[in-house]
C-alpha cells in the first residue's frame, strides 16, 4: 500500500504491524508527522515501526524504542580497509579471485545481466540450509525485482570470461550504501567471487566518500563470520514502535508485539535449523552447503 507516496507492508496476525517495504533503503524525513498521517489514513494496522538511518545511532524520537543489530562496515579509505580491517586470510581470498581469472566490474542493468542473475538463482533450490526464495523465478519477475531504486543503484558483477558468477546490487542512501543483494554461484566458490565483490563494493564506496556500508542484520548464524572477516561491525540502531489503534497500544504496553520466533531461546532455533537443513538435503537429494 502507498501512504504519502511511500510503500508500506503490513505483517502479523494477532498484531498487524506496518513498516516501510524497504526500510533500510528508504527513510522518513519526519516520522512523527508520517505516523499522524498513517492514523488518519486508517490503514489496517495496529502498529507502525521504523528505524533511524544507519548513520544516526543516537535516539531522536519520543516513541517506544528497541534496538536493531545490523552489520555495518565503517569506511575511511580502501587502503585502510585492506591493511587494517580485514585478515590475511581474507586478503588472500580476494587475491585468489584474480588468480583464478575473475574480473570484477560494474555492470549496466540490461537483459544480459538479468539472464545471468536468473542462472545464479536457478543453480540450486537450497542455500545456507534453507529453501532459496528466488529459485524458479522467471525472467520477467527477476527483471522487475531488480528494477527498483535504479536511479541510486549500482550493479557489480564477478565474471569468468563471459559468465556472470556473482553479483551485488549496491543501493546508495543518505550517508550510507546498502548491499541489497550479494550472491554467487556455488559451483565457483573455489574462485572466491563473493570476497572479490565485497572488495569492489568497498572500493566504490571509498571513492564516493560513503562512510558506511550496510550488509543486513547482525547474527552469529549464517553469514555472521563472513561479515566479521570482511570488517563489518555490530551497529545498534533505534527501532521505534508507534501504536495506531487501541489494540496496538495494549500490545505495546504488554510487550506482545514480537513474533514468537523472536521470543524462543536461540538453542531451539539452532536445533530447528539443523533439522531443517538435514530434511532439505534428503528432500532435494543434495548437500545443502553454505553457498552465498
Cβ atoms within 10 Å, residue 111? 9
pLDDT band per the 50, 70, 90 thresholds, residue 188:
very high
Calpha distance 234→87 (Å, rounded): 17
- pLDDT number for residue 43: 87
The answer to whether residue 128 scores a pLDDT higher than 80 is: no
Check residues 62 and 275 and name the one with the higher pLDDT: 62
pLDDT band per the 50, 70, 90 thresholds, residue 287:
very low
Dihedral sign for Cα atoms in the order 92, 94, 95, 99: positive
Do 275 and 283 contact (CB within 8 A), yes or no?
no
- pLDDT number for residue 284: 62
- pLDDT number for residue 291: 38
Burial group, residue 40, by CB count within 10 angstroms (0-12, 13-18, 19+): exposed
| Arithmetic mean of pLDDT, 133-145 | 96
Domains and CATH numbers, the chain: 2-68+237-272 (no CATH), 76-210 (3.40.630.30)
| Arithmetic mean of pLDDT, 44-51 | 94
- pLDDT number for residue 152: 93
pLDDT band per the 50, 70, 90 thresholds, residue 149:
very high
Burial group, residue 177, by CB count within 10 angstroms (0-12, 13-18, 19+): buried
- pLDDT number for residue 204: 97
pLDDT band per the 50, 70, 90 thresholds, residue 58:
very high
pLDDT band per the 50, 70, 90 thresholds, residue 173:
confident
Calpha distance 264→210 (Å, rounded): 37
pTM of the model: 0.85
Check residues 210 and 55 and name the one with the higher pLDDT: 210
Which residues on neighbouring strands pair with residue 55, listed in sequence order?
none
The answer to whether residue 135 scores a pLDDT higher than 90 is: yes
Calpha distance 69→165 (Å, rounded): 30
Percent of the chain past pLDDT 90, that is, above it, reads 70
- Please state the φ and ψ torsions of residue 44, each to the nearest 5 degrees: -80, 70
pLDDT band per the 50, 70, 90 thresholds, residue 219:
confident
pLDDT band per the 50, 70, 90 thresholds, residue 273:
low
The answer to whether residue 246 scores a pLDDT higher than 80 is: yes
3-state SS, the chain, equals: CEECCEEEEEECCCCCEEEECCCCCCCCCCHHHHHHHHHHHCCCCCEEEEECCCCCCCCCCCCEEEEEEEEEEECCCHHHHHHHHCCHHHHHHHHHHHHCCEEEEEECCCHHHHHHHHHHHCCCCEECCEECCCCCCCHHHHHHHHCCCHHHEEEEEEEECCEEEEEEEEEECCCEEEEEEEEECHHHHHHCHHHHHHHHHHHHHHHCCCCEEEEEECCCCCCHHHHHHCCCEEEEEEEEEEECCHHHHHHHHCCCCCCHHHCCCHHHHHHHHHHHHHHHHHHCCCCCCCCC
- Over the chain, what is the mean pLDDT? 89
| Arithmetic mean of pLDDT, 217-229 | 83
pLDDT band per the 50, 70, 90 thresholds, residue 288:
very low
Amino acid at each position: 500500500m502507498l501512504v504519502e507516496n511511500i510503500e508500506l507492508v503490513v505483517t502479523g496476525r494477532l498484531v498487524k504491524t506496518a513498516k516501510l517495504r524497504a526500510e533500510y533503503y528508504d527513510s522518513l524525513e519526519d516520522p512523527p508527522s508520517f505516523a499522524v498521517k498513517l492514523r488518519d489514513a486508517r490503514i489496517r494496522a495496529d502498529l507502525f515501526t521504523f528505524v533511524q538511518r544507519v548513520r544516526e545511532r543516537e535516539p531522536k524520537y519520543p516513541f517506544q524504542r528497541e534496538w536493531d543489530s545490523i552489520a555495518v562496515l565503517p569506511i575511511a579509505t580502501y587502503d585502510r580497509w585492506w591493511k587494517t580491517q580485514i585478515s590475511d586470510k581474507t586478503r588472500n581470498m580476494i587475491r585468489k579471485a584474480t588468480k583464478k581469472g575473475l574480473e570484477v566490474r560494474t555492470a549496466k542493468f540490461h537483459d544480459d545481466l538479468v539472464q545471468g542473475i536468473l542462472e545464479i538463482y536457478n543453480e540450486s533450490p537450497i542455500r545456507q540450509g534453507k529453501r532459496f526464495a528466488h529459485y524458479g523465478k522467471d525472467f520477467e519477475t527477476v527483471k522487475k525485482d531488480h528494477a527498483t531504486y535504479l536511479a541510486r543503484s549500482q550493479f557489480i558483477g564477478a565474471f569468468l570470461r563471459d559468465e556472470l558468477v556473482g553479483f551485488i546490487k549496491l543501493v546508495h542512501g543518505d550517508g550510507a550504501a546498502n548491499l541489497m543483494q550479494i550472491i554467487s554461484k556455488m559451483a565457483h566458490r573455489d574462485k572466491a567471487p563473493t570476497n572479490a565483490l565485497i572488495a569492489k563494493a568497498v572500493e566504490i564506496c571509498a571513492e564516493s566518500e560513503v562512510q558506511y556500508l550496510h550488509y543486513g542484520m547482525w547474527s552469529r548464524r549464517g553469514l555472521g563470520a563472513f561479515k566479521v572477516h570482511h570488517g563489518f561491525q555490530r551497529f545498534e540502531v533505534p527501532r521505534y514502535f508507534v501504536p495506531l489503534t487501541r489494540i496496538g497500544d495494549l500490545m505495546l504496553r504488554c510487550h506482545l508485539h514480537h513474533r514468537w520466533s523472536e521470543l524462543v531461546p536461540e538453542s531451539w532455533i539452532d536445533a530447528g535449523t539443523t533439522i531443517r537443513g538435514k530434511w532439505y538435503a534428503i528432500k532435494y537429494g543434495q548437500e545443502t552447503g553454505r553457498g552465498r
